[in-house]
Amino acid sequence: MTLVLELVRSPRRGAALVLERGRLLGAAMAVAVATAIAAASVGRFASAVSVQDVMFGPHRSALVGLLLSLLGRDLTIVVLHLLEQSWAALLIVSALGPMWIWLLGASAIHAAARIGGAGRPFYPMLVLIGVATAVTRSVSDAIGLAAGVHGAGPAVAQLAGLLGLGWLGLIALRGIQRHYQVGETRAFTILALALVLFYLVPLLLIAAAVVAIVVAAVVLKYVPGY
């Protein structure tokens, strides 16, 4: 609990303490709690919001609205069909979000540091990202759960999620500086490399695959009947 409070008070001092005193079992238990909160939040969302609400509901995001205006009727139907088919899987992945962020985040940072020539043990960074993920996601998901899925709730949840990611990024940055014994500029480079190579590039590949599927559906004149 002391380590958690220090992370809240000061990302720099808290990251140093977790790197020095943190244990993997404690990090895993904290991530388990955060995952339970995330699962409760996703479950509440799934019980109140359908795929059609996400695509056509009054509270859809501006990005979804832009896509709908650009795609047209046939492409929109294809995208909706793909989303419906993968809806359950997306909910499960979202519910397990803290676990993915922990394991993939720590691995990506360590790999990026090794690429940059900063060789240090993996264990302390694994513990730090676990504790940091648990703290930031627990807070942001709890706020989203309390805000609900109606009215201003979705906007509050999105804001809390963005602030939580920023908070996590700051803790990771301070942890990289401390653990790999690098300056702030190099630490930021390591963090950026981790985000680009291990998050952004895979997401772009997934997006490209979805675009290819949609284009193929249109070319082959496969438009699900709605």
Non-local CB neighbours of 149 within 8 Å, separated by 6+ positions: 44, 45, 48, 49
Q: How many domains does the chain have?
A: 1
In a domain, 113, yes or no: yes
The answer to the question of residue 90 being in a domain is: yes
Give residue 78's pLDDT: 76
Judge whether 57 lies within some domain: yes
Residue 146 is assigned to a structural domain of this protein: yes
- Are 37 and 137 in contact by the 8 Å Cβ rule? The answer is yes
31 within domain boundaries:
yes
Query: Is 225 contained in some domain?
Result: no
Q: Along the chain (226 residues), what's the average pLDDT of each consecutive run of 10 residues?
A: 78 92 93 95 83 68 68 71 81 92 93 89 95 94 85 83 93 95 94 88 79 73 58
In a domain, 224, yes or no: no
- CA 141, CA 44: separation in Å to the nearest integer? 11
What confidence score (pLDDT) does residue 24 get? Answer: 94
The boundaries of the domain holding residue 210 are 2-219
pLDDT at position 219: 72
